Amino acid sequence: MKTIGLIGGMSWESTTSYYQIINETIKKELGGLHSAKILLYSVDFAEIEHYQAVGDWEKSGQLLTDIAQRLEQAGADFIVICTNTMHKVAPQIQEKITIPILHIAQATAQALLADGIQKVGLLGTKYTMTQDFYKEKLIESGLEVLIPDQAGIIEVNRIIYDELCLGNIKESSKQTYLAVIDDLKKVGAEAVILGCTEIGLLVKQSDTDLPLYDTTVIHAEKAAEWAVNKRL
């Protein structure tokens, strides 16, 4: 079994989901008392969020690169960045390490295409929804990507940072998200990507008839698959 290097803490609530899903998937694959070999470096999210807010992606990239290098030196066989937004600096990190990064958008695109989805809505932080670093991975895979209108982008992003990342789960915010999802459905979305590792804490598949693709679940399950049987 390969050793997974997790970069977590962005936020810590969603990182606990990664740990649980990876181990559940390993147990399902291998049975018995098997569990995942994991090295976890959990960051101080306030530091990362500050660099995001001021647009200093270079500095945040340097910080995560240093962590990835430490995980590689400690014996990780591949890296999993436990957040969507910080995949913006994944190319910068990859240049400085010799082990691969399991990219969350590529894993998500594979899951969508396997289910025959062509047109998909994308929810996430404002960075994930509006910047190319994430969407282009989906588009390169052959998907058509839809995002909310400007008001929707602002509110979806606000709820992530002001509520979900602090562990606050509000029914009113769930209804806001469901309204945004409904709007995406009206303009042709066949499914919606929950493209922030916190959104799955708020919105569940049982809340809507439109298929939801929770990137936390997809990414964590793919990490477990890589650990047990995928050649890197």
Could you give the count of Cα atoms lying within 13 Å of 122 in the half-sphere of its Cβ?
A: 29
Residue 229 to residue 195: CA distance in whole angstroms: 26
Q: Which residue out of 25, 83, 85, 125 is catalytically annotated?
A: 83
Beta-strand runs (E) in 49-104: 78-81
Quick one: tokens of 81?
């960045």
H or E element in which residue 213 lies: strand 212-214
Q: Which residue out of 108, 196, 197, 215 is catalytically annotated?
A: 196
Residue 6 to residue 141: CA distance in whole angstroms: 25
Give the chain's length. Answer: 232
Does 65 qualify as catalytic in the annotation? no
Which stretches of the chain are DSSP H helices?
12-30, 45-53, 57-74, 90-94, 104-114, 126-130, 132-140, 150-162, 171-186, 215-229
- The torsion angle over the Cα atoms of residues 71, 64, 21 and 217, rounded to 10 degrees, is -140
Does 196 qualify as catalytic in the annotation? yes
Active-site annotation, residues = 83, 196
